[in-house]
């Protein structure tokens, strides 16, 4: 059985109502990126940053996984250990759809960690009415468990091993412009994988894509998954 690795981006969540990463003006949901998505921004104004992520967390809970998320869950159910899902998204919709083999390379809106002792907490267990949640163990400030600009994404070694070992690499709902994730397709292709993309727009790294499906994830992915599984 072939080994599949899937990378998802903002496009798949956008079809559930989650606003996409950045607009053309460089703003992140109406905020300057450096203010709300950098260690320097958090140090300068942790209250602003926490309010931003509390709002994003609440938004993520207000929407539901869509049929594209469930199509990938179906793929996982059928392929089992031959399927792995990497996501750039932090909204948790893949997990809420039932996916278990999920690598959240940019962190998660649903967790926070202590800046002092690194203790990790689900946001659901924290008092979010305070401006800056604090660690229950040491009393120091918590920060959102999000990989910010200038920080190294999670699980890069594990991801590299999956890319080198997969037979098919699929890119779903991502522009192919944000690194290091944009380079994953190049690595997979270099090691012999067949590459497939599903996206509303043509991705920036189209030259590394063997099979392009242009359109909405919710319309194109379910039948594509059924086609793949019929051949598995």
Q: Indicate which residues carry an active-site annotation.
A: 106
Angstrom distance (rounded) from CA 130 to CA 196: 45
* CA angle in degrees (0–180, nearest 5) for 31-37-41: 85
φ, ψ (nearest 5 deg) of residue 136? -75, -20
Partners of 211 in the beta sheet?
Answer: 196
Tell how far CA 141 is from the center of its chain: 25
The DSSP call for residue 141 is B
3-state secondary structure 151-165: CCCCCHHHHHHHHHH
Angstrom distance (rounded) from CA 14 to CA 45: 28
Which residue's entry shows tokens 């869509």? Answer: 66
Q: Name the 3-class secondary structure at 143.
A: strand
Give the dihedral sign, CA 91/8/177/13: negative
Q: Name the 3-class secondary structure at 123.
A: helix
Contact 4, 51 (CB under 8 A): no
């Amino acid at each position: 059985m072939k080994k599949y690795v899937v990378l998802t981006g903002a496009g798949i969540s956008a079809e559930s109502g989650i606003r996409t990463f950045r607009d053309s003006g460089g703003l992140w949901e109406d905020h300057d990126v450096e203010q709300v998505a950098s260690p320097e921004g958090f140090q300068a104004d942790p209250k602003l940053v926490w309010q931003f992520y509390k709002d994003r967390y609440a938004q993520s809970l207000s929407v539901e996984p869509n049929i594209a998320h469930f199509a990938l869950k179906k793929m996982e159910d059928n392929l089992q250990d031959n399927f792995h899902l990497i996501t750039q998204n932090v909204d948790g919709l893949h997990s809420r759809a039932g996916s278990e083999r999920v690598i959240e390379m940019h962190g998660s809106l649903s967790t926070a960690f202590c800046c002092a002792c690194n203790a990790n907490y689900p946001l659901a267990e924290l008092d979010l009415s305070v401006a800056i949640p604090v660690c229950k163990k040491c009393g120091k400030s918590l920060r959102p468990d999000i990989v910010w600009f200038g920080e190294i994404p999670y699980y890069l070694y594990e991801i590299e091993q999956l890319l080198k070992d997969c037979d098919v690499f699929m890119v779903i709902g991502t522009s192919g412009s944000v690194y290091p994730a944009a380079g994953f397709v190049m690595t997979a292709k270099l090691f012999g994988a067949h590459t497939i993309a599903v996206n509303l727009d043509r991705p920036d790294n189209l030259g590394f894509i063997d099979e392009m499906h242009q359109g909405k994830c919710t319309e194109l992915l379910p039948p594509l998954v059924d086609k793949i599984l019929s051949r598995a």
